Amino acid sequence: MLLEEELQSHAPDRPTVCTLGVFDGVHRGHLALLERTRLVAHARGMRSAALVFHPHPRSVLAPNSPSVPTLTPLVKRGALIAAQGVDIVAPITFTRELSQLSAREFSGALQVHLRMAGLVVGPDFALGRNREGTVPVLRALGAELGFSVNALEPLVVDGTPVSSTSVRQALAGGDIGRVTALLNRRYCTEGRVAHGDGRGRTLGYPTANLAPSDEWALPADGIYATLAHLEQGVYDSATYVGTRPTFGGVGRVVEVFLLDFEGDLYGQRVGVEWVARVREDRTFSSADQLQEQMERDIVAARVALGSP
């Protein structure tokens, strides 16, 4: 079984305290889970381990349903988790076969291959086929098989439980301040610069056009104050997300205007760090009217970034 192979590749030198989930976004709720796992493991002289499921279970169990936009790619997810001091970060491929394991079978695999002696989970966690392994069920299993279960209370920010879904909802509403609060860091995406139609250059604002992936969760359409991470360094920028309705656009685009940069970026990967929303997207009666608004947008982006 693939699960056994993946677990064996992370065989620890001592017993472990484990936590597991998709961890998309590695938000503040995840950070609390990882911290508790690390602290419990340290107190018991054990290793801490995080099992990271990929792809998202919904894409496997309901392939015809709308895909779940990714907040954080798997590699970045692993790096963020490791940065919390977790000893073992184990990507686990989520398959239909894995989804049919009982809570007892899954727990047993963790005990055999990761020497699991403790499990740390969130309040609504459920493990195994048909989500049978609720916290009470896992505690009963743990008492029988010899592992402890530590369940955290939900983390609430401004009256809303922190979750990957709440982060996606804040992004969809263009509420970058809330996204930052839920993640405890600024949201970042990245893409490779591709050739566009050159319209930004004709308007006096040449942009780096990033082909957006359907897998990325992007903010609501509009103009944003952003930081662009290039090979050359980090630059203040203003980023547009939308369909360019003034020019009859249909496909969604991401266009990054670097405020104080000159050079060729084609083919380079650019990271976009989303700082604040400047305004929503809208249609203008003419290119001149749009150009005048763009001038105001640049000023607003500089103010949001504290850029001279």
Q: Is the backbone of residue 244 left (phi > 0), alpha (psi -120 to 50) or beta?
A: left
CATH of 187-305, one of 3.30.1330.180, 3.10.20.440, 2.40.30.30, 3.40.50.880: 2.40.30.30
Give the Cα separation of 248 and 2 in Å (integer): 48
Yes or no: say if 4 and 100 are a contact pair by the CB < 8 Å rule: no
Domain boundaries, the chain: 2-161, 187-305
CA-wise closest residue to 63 among 92, 41, 96, 30: 96
| 2-161, CATH topology level | Rossmann fold (3.40.50)
Residue-by-residue pLDDT tens, the chain, 308 positions = 689 999 999 999 999 999 999 999 999 999 999 999 999 999 999 999 999 999 999 999 998 888 889 999 999 999 999 999 999 999 999 999 999 999 999 999 999 999 999 999 998 899 999 999 999 999 999 999 999 999 999 999 988 899 999 999 999 999 999 999 999 999 999 999 987 655 544 444 678 899 766 678 999 999 999 999 998 899 999 999 998 776 666 678 899 999 988 888 888 999 999 999 999 998 887 878 888 888 999 999 999 999 77
